[in-house]
Structure 1
Amino acid sequence: MDIALFADYDGTLALPEKAREERPLPPSLEEALRKLAALMPFAVVTTKDCQFVMKRVPFASAYACINGIEIHAAGYVAVAADVKYDAVESLYRKATGLNALVEPKRTWRGDIAGFTIDWRDSGIPPPGLEELVREASGLGIRVVKYSRHPFLDFYGSNVDKGNAVRILKALLGVKHVVYMGDSENDIPAWREADIKILVRHSLNRGLSIEGVIPIDYEHLPAYLQEVAKNVTDIKG
Structure 2
Amino acid sequence: MDRLAAILSDFDGTLCPTSGIKYNDNSSDFIPRSIEEILCEISLTIPIGIITSKDFDFIYPKTRKFAKILSCILGLETFVLNDKERTNYNENILNENNKVSTEDIAIKDRISLFDHEMLSINSHMLNEITAYLENNYHTMNVEKKFLKGEENLLGGITVDWRHNSNWMVNKEKYKEIVKESVYNILNRTQQKEEGNRSKEKSSSLTQHLFIQEYSTHPFIDVYVTKLNKGSAFDSVVSKLYEILNIKGKIIYLGDSENDNPAFKKANISIGVNSDNRLNPTLDCTYSIKFENLSIFLRRLVDNDFDFSESLLNF
Give the TM-score taking structure 2 as reference length. 0.69
The residue aligned with 1:57 is: 63
Matched residue type, 1:152 = I
Q: Which piece of structure 1 moves more, 223-232 or 37-46?
A: 223-232
Matched residue type, 1:128 = I
Q: Which piece of structure 1 moves more, 61-70 or 131-140?
A: 131-140
CA distance in 1, matches of 2:185, 2:73: 17
The residue aligned with 1:80 is: 113
1:226 aligns with 2:299: yes
CA distance in 2, matches of 1:145, 1:112: 19
1:206 aligns with 2:279: yes
Q: Which piece of structure 1 moves more, 225-234 or 170-179?
A: 225-234
Matched residue type, 1:69 = L
The residue aligned with 1:89 is: 127
CA distance in 2, matches of 1:31, 1:5: 15
Q: Is the 8 A contact 1:68 1:159 kept in 2?
A: yes
Q: Is the 8 A contact 2:50 2:70 kept in 1?
A: yes
The residue aligned with 1:107 is: 147
Aligned with residue 75 of structure 2, among 68, 71, 85: 68
CA distance in 1, matches of 2:306, 2:254: 26
CA distance in 2, matches of 1:203, 1:56: 24
The residue aligned with 1:9 is: 11
CA separation of 1:148 and 1:3: change in aligned 2, threshold 3 A: same
The residue aligned with 1:217 is: 290
The residue aligned with 1:153 is: 221
Q: Percent identity?
A: 27
Query: Which has more radius of gyration?
Result: 2
Q: Is the 8 A contact 2:49 2:71 kept in 1?
A: yes
Matched residue type, 1:215 = I
Q: Is the 8 A contact 1:69 1:160 kept in 2?
A: no
Give the gaps of 5 or more residues in structure 2.
82-107, 188-205, 308-314
Secondary structure of 1:128's aligned partner:
helix
CA distance in 2, matches of 1:205, 1:129: 21
Q: Which piece of structure 1 moves more, 195-204 or 224-233?
A: 224-233
Matched residue type, 1:151 = F
The residue aligned with 1:32 is: 38
Q: Cα RMSD (Å) of the superposition? A: 2.3
Q: Is the 8 A contact 1:136 1:143 kept in 2?
A: no
CA distance in 1, matches of 2:271, 2:39: 17
CA distance in 2, matches of 1:119, 1:3: 37
Q: What are the Cα deviations for residues 81-105 of structure 1, in whole angstroms up to 9, with x where unaligned?
A: 2333222222222232222110000
CA separation of 1:211 and 1:34: change in aligned 2, threshold 3 A: same
CA distance in 1, matches of 2:141, 2:278: 24
CA distance in 2, matches of 1:117, 1:209: 22
CA separation of 1:232 and 1:208: change in aligned 2, threshold 3 A: closer
Secondary structure of 1:17's aligned partner:
helix
**More helix per residue:** 2
Secondary structure of 1:78's aligned partner:
strand
Secondary structure of 2:111's aligned partner:
strand
Q: Is the 8 A contact 2:125 2:186 kept in 1?
A: no
Q: Is the 8 A contact 2:4 2:306 kept in 1?
A: no
Shift >4 Å, 4+ stretches: 136-139
The residue aligned with 1:166 is: 234
Secondary structure of 2:236's aligned partner:
helix
CA distance in 2, matches of 1:136, 1:195: 41
Secondary structure of 1:162's aligned partner:
helix
Matched residue type, 2:261 = P
